Amino acid sequence: MNAFHKMSAAIVQIPAAVVRSLVSQVRQVNRRYVKPEIELTGFTKVCLFVLRIYLLAMIALMGYFLVQQVRAIGSGSLGHG
């Protein structure tokens, strides 16, 4: 191997080590917080559920409007009067 190949091999190994380290840290945090330590009241659970429904509705609306725009562009009528 020439010097260039050795250097490029060393450069490739550095990110792999960094990724392994980060994955290890994430797994450690996940093990630490596998059981939530906070308790939610009934009101908080209801609020979070309503928020989840609201967010899903917003995503559905955005998807619907995106499909409508794609159809309008495909048909050549963008509604310019």
The Cα 31–Cα 37 span in angstroms is 13
| pLDDT (0 to 100) of residue 22 | 87
Q: Report the amino acid identity of residue 61.
A: L
Q: Which tens digit of pLDDT belongs to each residue from 6-62?
A: 666 665 566 777 888 889 999 998 888 888 778 889 999 999 999 999 999 999 999
| pLDDT (0 to 100) of residue 5 | 65
The Cα 66–Cα 80 span in angstroms is 17
pTM for this entry: 0.48
Determine the average pLDDT of the residues in 68-76.
87
Half-sphere exposure for 15 (CA within 13 Å, toward CB) = 4
Is 78:72 a contact under the CB 8 Å cutoff? Answer: yes
Instruction: Let me know how many helices (H) and strands (E) the chain has, helices first.
Output: 2, 0
